[in-house]
Amino acid sequence: MRDKTKTLLYQWFNEVWNQGLEDSIEQLMATNSFAHGIKSEEQLQGPAGFKTFYHGFKDQFDDIHIDVKEVVSQDDMECALTEVMATHKESGKRISFTGLCMVRIENNQIAEAWNQYDFQGMQQQLEQEPTSLAE
C-alpha cells in the first residue's frame, strides 16, 4: 500500500499549513506556477501569487490544521482529499470544511494546481456573506 506521507501534496500541506513554514512555499512551488480556484486570474503567479491567498487566510484564522485524508497519484499528477480546521480570529468560532487539491508536478515542484474547497460552507459556519480570501 502506498504511503501518502511520501507525496509532494502531503509535504505541502504539512509544511506550509500545519507547520507554518512559509519558506516551503518557495521550495515546493515552481516560479511560474499557478493555483486555480483560490485566487483570481489577475494575481501574480508562482509563490508570490500564492502568498497573497496564504496571508489573507492566515490573517483571518488561527490554529490552522489541514488533515490529508487521502492522496491519489499517477505519473506527474497528485490529488489530495483534505479537511481544513481553523479558528476564526474575529469570532473565535472553530470551523471545518473539506476540499480537493490536484497538482501537476515538474522537477519535484508544484507546476500547476486546481483547488476545489468548500469556502461557501466555511462562510456559512461563520454566518458571513461570501467574500474573497485574497483581498
- For residues 111 and 33, give the distance between their C-alpha atoms in angstroms, rounded to a whole number: 5
Residue 128's pLDDT is 74
Domain membership of residue 8 (yes or no) is: yes
Nine-digit cell at 116?
476545489
Q: Which range has the worst mean pLDDT, 49-58, 63-72, 82-91, 100-109?
A: 49-58
CATH code of the domain covering residue 119: 3.10.450.50
What are 98's strand-pairing partners?
Answer: 83
Domain membership of residue 130 (yes or no) is: no
Residue 17's pLDDT is 98
Tally of domains in the chain? 1
Residue tagged 483547488 (cell numbers) = 115
Domain membership of residue 134 (yes or no) is: no
Q: Where are the beta strands (DSSP E) in 10-108?
A: 29-36, 61-74, 77-88, 94-106
**Domain, as residue range, for 28:** 4-125
Domain membership of residue 106 (yes or no) is: yes
Residue 26's pLDDT is 96
Domain membership of residue 132 (yes or no) is: no
What are the pLDDT digits (tens) for 9-50? 999 999 999 999 999 999 999 999 988 888 666 666 899 989
